[in-house]
Amino acid sequence: MIQFENATRNYGKKVAVSGLDLTVPSGELFALLGPNGAGKTTTIKMLVGLLRPSHGVVRVCGHDLITETRSAHSRLGYVPDEPYLYDKLTGHEFLRFIAGMYRIPKHLTQLHIDREITRFELQEFADDLAENYSLGMRQRLIFAAAFLHDPDVLVLDEPMVGLDPRSVRIVKDLLKEKTAEGMTVFMSTHTLAMAEEMADRMGIMIEGKIHFLGTVSELREQVDVETKSLENLYLKITSIPSADQINSPDKK
């Protein structure tokens, strides 16, 4: 469903993402981890069509993001780290606009909107202007918009920022349900616990390259650390000394 083929992106002389070869099949939740500046945002931007690869190809459901941009976008849902809403639209009006954009048939539009409003508990503020929303409300509305057209691929960039625990639970359950139904989810996050709990597979990106690709248990097998928490594994692979290593007797 998502294919990166030798995808490279340069910022001037700096290579932000280098020769990325990655396929995320249908029904998989993939988590992309990595330190700041590793190339995660660039990867996401290439995946949603905001950045074109300097070399290589990015495909969504077989559609090339450059030559078949609209077809690729029609299969995609995107929740950015900083959600954009029209301040002078109500939540309801925004969802209607999204429904129109993804050409949801008129007789189904209200059904889809009601479904998402109920799912993300937007009833209380769906008719208020978005300028009055809190960060959490905005994030929930963006999730509702991303799920409105039942996308085949969902791209999430730090998705849980601003959400309260109840909303986090709703999103987690929904992601599990949708991936079981065949949706592909590509998630960039710094929340290791979230990745550990949710991801079928994860990739750890450092300086534009994937240094590890596999499941958490594969990571545990491959990386040699005393305490095999994901945090320690992650810190080991990204070469930052962990608290265990710093405090271990043989280090002293």
Partner 1 sequence: MNTKKPAAEAQSQLLEVSQESALTQKLRRTIAWNLVHSTIHNSRFRFGLVLLLSVIFWVAVFCLFYESFVFIDSMHAEVMSLLFNTFFSALMAMMIFSTGILMYGGLYRSEESKFLLTCPLRAEAIHAHKFIEALWFSSWGFILLGSPMLIAYGIVRNAPWSFFAMLLPFMVAFVFIPATLGSILCMLVVAGLPRLRLHAFSVLFVSAMFTAIWLAWSTFGSTQSQALTPAWFEETLSRLAMTEQVFLPSWWLSSGLLDAALRNESRELTAQSTFEALKFLGLIIANAMLLSLMASWVARWTYRKGYSNLEAEIPCKRQRQILWLDELLAYGGTKDGNPIRLLLVKDLQVFRRDATQWSQFVIFFGLLALYFYNLQSFDYSNAYASLIGHLNLAVVGLIFSTFTTRFVFPSISLEGRRFWILGLLPIHRDQIIWAKFLFSFGGGLIPCLGLIVLSDSMLGLEQKTICVHLACCVALCGGLSGIAVGMGACMPDFRESSPAKIAAGFGGTVSLVLSALFIIFVVITVGLTSHLNLLRNAGERLPDYPILSLIGGSGGVAASLVIIITSGLLATFLPIFLGIRAFRHLEP
Cα(130)–Cα(110) distance, integer angstroms: 19
Minimum CB distance to partner 1 smaller for 48 or for 122: 48
Name the burial class of residue 93, with classes exposed (0-12), middle (13-18) and buried (19+) by CB atoms within 10 angstroms of its CB. middle
Both tokens assigned to 2? 């998502």
Q: Under the criterion CB under 8 A, does residue 105 sit at the interface with partner 1?
A: no
- The answer to whether the CB of 199 falls within 8 A of the CB of 32 is no
Q: Under the criterion CB under 8 A, does residue 70 sit at the interface with partner 1?
A: yes
CB of 148 to partner 1, least distance (A): 12
Q: Under the criterion CB under 8 A, does residue 97 sit at the interface with partner 1?
A: yes
Q: Under the criterion CB under 8 A, does residue 12 sit at the interface with partner 1?
A: yes
Cα(99)–Cα(113) distance, integer angstroms: 8
Minimum CB distance to partner 1 smaller for 25 or for 241: 25
Both tokens assigned to 7? 């995808």
Of 46-54, 115-123, 162-170, 219-227, the window that binds partner 1 (rule: CB under 8 A) is 46-54
Q: Which of 5, 8, 10, 196 binds partner 1 (CB under 8 A)?
A: 10
Task: Give the number of other CB atoms < 10 A from CB of residue 176.
Answer: 14
Give the footprint of partner 1 on residues 138-167 (CB under 8 A).
Answer: 152
Q: Under the criterion CB under 8 A, does residue 49 sit at the interface with partner 1?
A: yes
Q: Under the criterion CB under 8 A, does residue 90 sit at the interface with partner 1?
A: yes
Upper half-sphere CA count for residue 149 (Cβ side, 13 Å): 24
The helix (run of H) or strand (run of E) holding residue 244 is helix 243-247
Cα(203)–Cα(23) distance, integer angstroms: 11
Q: Which of 8, 71, 110, 245 binds partner 1 (CB under 8 A)?
A: 71
Using CB under 8 A, list all residues that contact partner 1.
Answer: 1, 9-12, 14, 25-26, 45, 48-52, 54, 61-63, 68-71, 73-74, 76, 78, 80, 82, 84, 86, 88-90, 93, 97, 100-103, 129, 152
